[in-house]
Amino acid sequence: MNPSTAMQNAPTMAVRTTQQAPWAEFVRVLLVNLLVWGLICSLGAAGDYRDGVLSGRSADLLRVWRAWLNGHVPLFVLSVALMLWLPRTGERFIGGHAIAGLYAALALLFFPLHMAYTALPGWLARGGGQSLVSYVLQRDNFSWFLEFAWFSGTFAVVMAVHIWRLGQQRTAELQASREANLALELALERQRLQGMRQQLEPHFIFNALNSISALVRSNEQPVALEGIASLSALLRYALKASAQDAVRLGDEIEFCQDYLDLQQMRYGARLQAAFEGLSPAVERIEVPPLLLQPLIENALRHDLDRHAGTTRLALHFALDGERLRLRVWNSLGERGPANAGLGLGLAHARERLALLYGSRARLDTEESPSHFEVRIDLPIRINE
């Protein structure tokens, strides 16, 4: 799946996972309420039965339990109806005013019916001599308070469950959106990295061919032919390495040494290169492919190509705890006019390190009248 498509679909998928088929949702809500209200009524009936036994009154546990169940049927219906209806309102009843309005509407419309229902058995037992409304209004204050507390408690619990479910759904949607955004950002970074690789390869080929062309122009055809063979080996490595996310530093060093050998055919003794601090531990470390060669090329192009003297080039490698420190140092001579070029080496190296390591890697430069230095500091990664 394309990452951008995944980002667009992720919130929808999260919503679908929190919503069920209508009948499945109805059955689930019904069973949950049956379980909760059955437990409440069982505990209440057990308490009333115990009180009756302790007071010496005869009590029938089954009759008491049925009375509790019958008295709480309206609250059971209210909780089921609210739990099925509220999810379809979305976030309409989240704010304080909306909740208070719904509570007031139910208090005016539902609570009187609830009181009439709970009073119905007593009214029928008296023969219905007076109106049901009068009978309800004559109930004692404690009965009114108790039933209103049951109604208010039921409403509060259902609203709390509704708000909690909305919070869970919002968290799931946010998480899905974040994951989709991360996937998209990763895809974009990979595309940017791939774009830089595609630019580095032609850039490397172009400069290597320039070196061979200079040999041809100076009538050094045998050396040029040897350079073409060396370039073929370099290209094989460059194409293979550029398809990977990381390569052994030892392979990169060997590639750079071969590249310098090719350049040595052109510059001869004017190019003096050295590799310092090499060890098996250093060579096992993984680094981004084609990281060092553009820095070497940068040193040659912007110094050695601009004067007729000698350039000293040194690549130094050092382990510092869990970090690798690289230095590419070159001397600066009396230089002529600047070479035209895109200046891709340093810019691409810095951007690639930022994409791959973020703030965990750094590339710094230092220039003085006598030398130019690139310092790279990155975390160690070893593939055994």
- Please say which residue of 155, 181, 207 terminates a domain: 181
Does 303 lie in the same domain as 154? no
Examine residue 11 and state whether it is found in any structural domain, yes or no.
yes
Neighbours of 118 (CB within 10 A): 21
Does 169 lie in the same domain as 61? yes
Residue 281 in this model has a pLDDT that exceeds 60: yes
- Report in angstroms the alpha-carbon separations of 135 from 69, 121, 122, 166, 291: 22, 11, 9, 42, 91
pTM of the model: 0.49
Nearest CA to 38 among 62, 65, 59? 65
Tell me the CATH number at 307: 3.30.565.10
Residue 362: what pLDDT? 94
Examine residue 67 and state whether it is found in any structural domain, yes or no.
yes
- Please say which residue of 154, 181, 208 terminates a domain: 181
Q: What is the residue whose two structure tokens read 């989240």?
A: 94
- Please say which residue of 133, 158, 181 terminates a domain: 181
Does 15 lie in the same domain as 153? yes
Between these two residues, 105 and 11, which has the higher pLDDT value? 105
Instruction: Tell me the residue type at 59.
Output: A
Does 148 lie in the same domain as 35? yes
Does 176 lie in the same domain as 55? yes
What's the number of domains the chain is made of?
2
Residue 236: what pLDDT? 82
- Residue-wise pLDDT for 207-222, tens only, equals 666 666 766 666 666 7
Does 162 lie in the same domain as 47? yes
* Residues recorded for the chain: 384
Examine residue 212 and state whether it is found in any structural domain, yes or no.
no
Examine residue 263 and state whether it is found in any structural domain, yes or no.
no
- Residue-wise pLDDT for 220-275, tens only, equals 667 666 767 777 778 788 878 877 888 999 999 999 998 898 888 778 889 999 99
Q: Cα Rg for the chain, rounded, in angstroms? A: 40
Does 303 lie in the same domain as 177? no
Range of the domain at 9: 3-181
Least confident range of 17-21, 100-104, 350-354: 17-21
Examine residue 159 and state whether it is found in any structural domain, yes or no.
yes
Do 64 and 48 meet the contact criterion of CB atoms below 8 Å apart? yes
Does 173 lie in the same domain as 309? no
**Using the 8-state DSSP alphabet, how is residue 335 labeled?**
-
Does 273 lie in the same domain as 172? no
CA pair distance 213, 304, nearest whole angstrom: 17
Examine residue 293 and state whether it is found in any structural domain, yes or no.
yes
Does 173 lie in the same domain as 49? yes
Examine residue 189 and state whether it is found in any structural domain, yes or no.
no
Does 145 lie in the same domain as 287? no
Examine residue 193 and state whether it is found in any structural domain, yes or no.
no
pLDDT, mean over the chain:
81
Does 162 lie in the same domain as 310? no
